[in-house]
Amino acid sequence: MKIGVIGGGQLGRMLALAGTPLGMSFAFLDPAADACAQALGEHVRADYNDNEHLRQLADNVDLVTFEFESVPAETVAFLSQFVPVYPSADALRIARDRWFEKSMFKELGIPTPAFADIQSQADLDEAVARIGLPAVMKTRTLGYDGKGQKVLREPADVSGAFAELGGVPCILEGFVPFTGEVSLVAVRARDGETRFYPLVHNTHTNGILQLSVASTDHPLQAQAEDYVARVLEKLDYVGVLAFEFFEVDGGLKANEIAPRVHNSGHWTIEGAECSQFENHLRAIAGLPLGSTAKVGESAMVNFIGEVPSTAKVVALDGCHLHHYGKAFKPGRKVGHATLRCTDRASLEGLIDQVQGLIQS
Ligand code: AMP
């Protein structure tokens, strides 16, 4: 089976690493000459709105998926005429726009921070009067890794903020005094069967994910699964979806969903029976899903800007290096390590050792 992937970054690369043993082959559509997934499949170098190349890709593969949610809706709609696309154009349309996304959570009874649609500075002034400060203003689309957002702490931060974020449609959210950030990665098959990985505790630095630790018997696991199941059913979703939550007052508030494999699920490559990448491919290909059970205690440390010395990383027992083959650049995700141990105390020791390599 040949899979077309829109986007050729590390997520596409890891999909191909998981799918190749299943007998799958891959073609990646990405305008970047140095798209790192090309080491693992065919590279169709074209823009996302280049219908001629999209048509070529559709004719050349059995189905299409994507590795980032900012794919233009028209691209997915165009491809869907010729080839099955999973997840659907509708799931993507909602997940790529924070207003549609939060409105869906509200409709499904999933708690969220207070939020408002912002189309002008006047809308912002009115929303701040209603929601209060501090608050977080985010562009409705195209934001990632903390980009396209601004924390408004005092009235002086509000004036001119709409123009500062580019004068594009935004949302304003009440600032959540969270005690932690967790995410749930789930997979839903074409027949509706759904499986969930354990909740993951995430730590961000400057808006970029730094560390994910998979939990054991998290008290909010059932609550999170219930919320995620509502979304998956509503969207008649096929594939892997990640749902990020804030932990606050002993409960969960929805932050956002990603309609794709997710950085907070990278630990599953060695830390779970079947990884998020393999399960995504199984789901979209109509294959039986794999077990989402954890194998021991597991965590993921991101390498941002550069990857430490390979020899030093692989010298650590239980540490598995994933180098994305990308040029090193400050703020860029260029690799990660999955850490796997038999017990929690050893895992914490190993996290410290890997983080020590980053600082040294
Ligand atoms: P996002 O791109 O929406 O995931 O936001 C990036 C990071 O900003 C989150 O992981 C949080 O650490 C922080 N953040 C986003 N929204 C809020 C909020 N409403 N209240 C507090 N912190 C937030």
CA of 311 to the centre of ligand 1 (A): 35
Using the mean position of ligand 1's atoms as its centre, give its distance from the Cα of residue 161 in Å. Answer: 17
Pocket of ligand 1 from Cβ distances under 6 Å? 113, 136, 138, 143, 146, 173, 175-176, 181, 204, 207, 244, 255-256
Tell me the best of 98, 136, 205, 245 to mutate to test the pocket of ligand 1, counting ligand atoms within 8 Å of each CB and taking the most. Answer: 136
Q: What is the mean pLDDT of the chain?
A: 96
Domain boundaries, given as residue ranges, for the chain: 2-85, 114-174, 180-359
Q: Which pLDDT score is estimated for 73?
A: 79
Three-state secondary structure of the chain: CEEEEECCCHHHHHHHHHHHHHCCEEEEECCCCCCHHHHHCEEECCCCCCHHHHHHHHHHCCEEEECCCCCCHHHHHHHHCCCCECCCHHHHHHHCCHHHHHHHHHHCCCCCCCEEEECCHHHHHHHHHHHCCCEEEEECCCCCCCCCEEEECCHHHHCCHHHHCCCCCEEEEECCCCCEEEEEEEEECCCCCEEECCCEEEEEECCEEEEEEECCCCCCHHHHHHHHHHHHHHCCCCEEEEEEEEEECCEEEEEEEECCCCHHHCCHHHHECCCHHHHHHHHHHCCCCCCCCECCEEEEEEEECCCCCHHHHHCCCCEEEEECCCCCCCCCEEEEEEEEECCHHHHHHHHHHHHHHHHC
Q: What percent of the chain has pLDDT over 90?
A: 94
What CA–CA distance (Å, rounded) separates 210 from 146? Answer: 13
State the closest ligand 1 atom to the C-alpha of 145, by its place in the atom list counted from 1: 2
Mean pLDDT of 280-299: 98
Domain 114-174 belongs in CATH node 3.30.930.10: no
160-214 tens-digit pLDDT: 999 999 999 999 999 999 999 999 999 999 999 999 999 999 999 988 999 999 9
Give the Å distances, CA to CA, from 5 to 73, 211, 221, 267, 309. 15, 27, 31, 22, 31
Q: Detail the residues annotated as belonging to a binding site for ATP.
A: 98, 138, 143-149, 173-176, 181, 204, 255-256
The number of angstroms, rounded, from the C-alpha of 114 to the middle of its chain's C-alpha atoms is 23
CA of 55 to the centre of ligand 1 (A): 37
CB 303, CB 335: distance < 8 Å: yes
Report CA(28)–ligand 1 centroid distance (Å). 30
Position 147 scores a pLDDT of 79
Confidence band for 72, pLDDT divided at 50, 70 and 90: confident
Specify the pLDDT at position 183. 98
Write down the pLDDT at residue 360. Answer: 60
Q: With cut-offs at 50, 70 and 90, classify the pLDDT of residue 139.
A: very high
Task: Assess contact for 121 and 162: CB atoms under 8 A.
Answer: yes
Mean pLDDT along residues 109-124: 97
Pocket test for ligand 1, best of 147, 149, 153, 255 (most atoms within 8 A of CB): 255
Q: Which of 41-50, 145-154, 259-268 has the lowest mean pLDDT?
A: 145-154
| Centre of ligand 1 from the C-alpha of residue 36, in Å | 28
Domain 180-359: what homologous superfamily? ATP-grasp fold, B domain (3.30.470.20)
Task: Fold for 2-85, please state it.
Answer: Rossmann fold (3.40.50)
Cα–Cα distance measured from residue 163 to residue 118, given in angstroms and rounded to the nearest whole number: 12
* Pairing between β-strand 135-139 and β-strand 170-174 as defined by DSSP bridges: antiparallel
C-alpha span between 140 and 202 (Å, rounded):
23
Q: Ligand 1 atom closest to Cα of 143?
A: 2
Atom of ligand 1 nearest to the CA of 175: 20
Could you read off the pLDDT of 218-231 as tens digits, one per residue?
Answer: 999 999 999 999 99
Block residue for tokens 């304003």: 172
